Amino acid sequence: MVDKQRVGSWVLVVLIGAVLCAPLGCIGAQGPTFGLWSDVKGPIQGGSGSGSKTGEACSQHWFGVVALGDASIATAAKNGGIKRVDSADYYMTNRIVMGTFCTVVRGS
């Protein structure tokens, strides 16, 4: 027979874990994604960064649980009309329940 109290305890532990982990976000592994509020920039692919064109691609997440979008280097290059990528950077924001991860490429 199933112990309903024990099952209820495990459900409670999983829910508490999800609530505590949600502000950390699951959107990026590039830099610090901790906390309820963040604004981080950093490099993905080095280079001169002196290209004449710039392209950007972003994805969004809500509550650190649902993430949607295409923040790939290929999409950022396509959005900027770039055929040759010289450098790629990212920026990420997290605002309590919603966050954004964007890839910025420079090239020609």
C-alpha gyration radius of the chain: 19
Range of the domain at 74: 4-107
Position 81 scores a pLDDT of 96
Q: Which two tokens stand for residue 64?
A: 């650190």
Q: What is the pLDDT along the chain (108 residues), one digit of tens a residue?
A: 566 666 667 766 666 666 555 555 444 455 555 567 888 888 887 776 677 899 999 999 888 788 899 999 999 999 999 999 999 999 999 888 899 999 999 999
Coil, strand or helix at 75: helix
The tally of domains found in the chain comes to 1
List, in order, residues 6 or more apart from 106 with CB less than 8 Å away. 47, 49, 50, 51, 53, 54, 82, 85, 86, 87, 88
Position 27 scores a pLDDT of 44
Position 45 scores a pLDDT of 76
13-32: burial string, b at 16+ Cβ within 10 Å, e else: eeeeeeeeebbebebbebee
